[in-house]
Amino acid sequence: MRRLALLPALLLSGVCHAWLFTDDEAHQKISDMQLQNTQQQSKLETRFAGLESAQRAQGMEMLSQLEALKSELGKLRGQLEVQTHDIEGLQKRQRDLYVDVDTRLRQLESAAATAAAAAAAPLEESPPKSGKDSKSGKDKKSSAKANAAPVAVPAPVSAQKTAEADPAEEAKTYDAAFNQFRGGNYQGALTAFQAFNQAYPKSPLAPSAQYWIGNSYFNLKDFRSAISSQQELISLYPKSPKVPDALLNMASSYQGMGDVGTAKKTLEDVLARFPVSDAADKAKYRLESMK
């Protein structure tokens, strides 16, 4: 009976011991899980820090590359500005050269026209010798008058022909038109040169005026009219020294229209027709730059 009375106490002691062991195990598992979580969190933080550092390094590298590109772009922009300035200077020097050559040519043509006009002018009648007229002298003079042929009276000259025959007026009108071109007023130069050729169609300066008509059209970006005007110069004045320059201007006009093939053919025509000329040197240089 005593053993039976001790049995519940023993059972209760075993149960309590079992519950105490299970609780320790749970605490251990919780500690293990917390440790694992701490380790995983530490790994994640380390990984995140590495990614953040890599991203920061990549961003710095991209920023460095961007700064390098900006610097290179600045250098290229500077080089472009220098080249643009050089090209504008070259164009200005070329235009000044054209102006200088045309001015000299105009002076030569004007001098030639003055000489031709002076040679064509009728010689003035020399004045009679002074002295007392004798009776026999009077008889001889009367006889000479009777036998002399009637003197032809020259026909009146129109104002237009008088203007054409006046080299000084031609040069003045031409200079006024040329000053318009030199000042950059290409529309005014075009109108003035056209008026010059209408007023002085036979002037030695007419081929030069026709050339500047075409060049004025070119500067106004009217390339078709420029080509047509230079073709008219070549047709009307095939022996003019302005023909090579007219062909060069036509080549530039074709190139401005985007017709590079015809531009090259025109430059080759300059080399073939005028091999020993300043225009040929320019045509050769431009052909090489088109390759």
Tokens of residue 135, six digits: 């009776």
CA-nearest of 264, 266, 265, 260 to 247 is: 266
Rounded distance, CA 209 to CA 142, Å?
A: 55
Taking 3-state DSSP, the helix, strand and coil percentages for the chain, each rounded to the nearest 5, stand at 80, 0, 20
Rounded to the nearest angstrom, the gap between the alpha carbon of residue 103 and the centroid of all alpha carbons in its chain is: 24
Residue 196 has pLDDT above 80, yes or no: yes
Per domain, the residue ranges of the chain are 37-94, 167-291
Residue 103, C-beta contacts closer than 8 angstroms, at least 6 positions apart: 178
For the ranges 66-80, 179-193, 233-247, 276-290, the lowest mean pLDDT is seen at 66-80
Q: What span, in angstroms and rounded, lies between the C-alpha atoms of 131 and 138?
A: 12
Better pLDDT: 77 or 68: 68
Tens of pLDDT, residue by residue over 217-273, are 999 999 999 999 999 999 999 999 999 999 999 999 999 999 999 999 999 999 999
pLDDT at residue 291 in the model = 78
Query: Which of 78-82, 169-173, 276-280 shows the lowest mean pLDDT across its residues?
Result: 78-82
pLDDT band, very low/low/confident/very high, at 120 (cuts 50, 70, 90): low
CATH code: domain 167-291 is 1.25.40.10
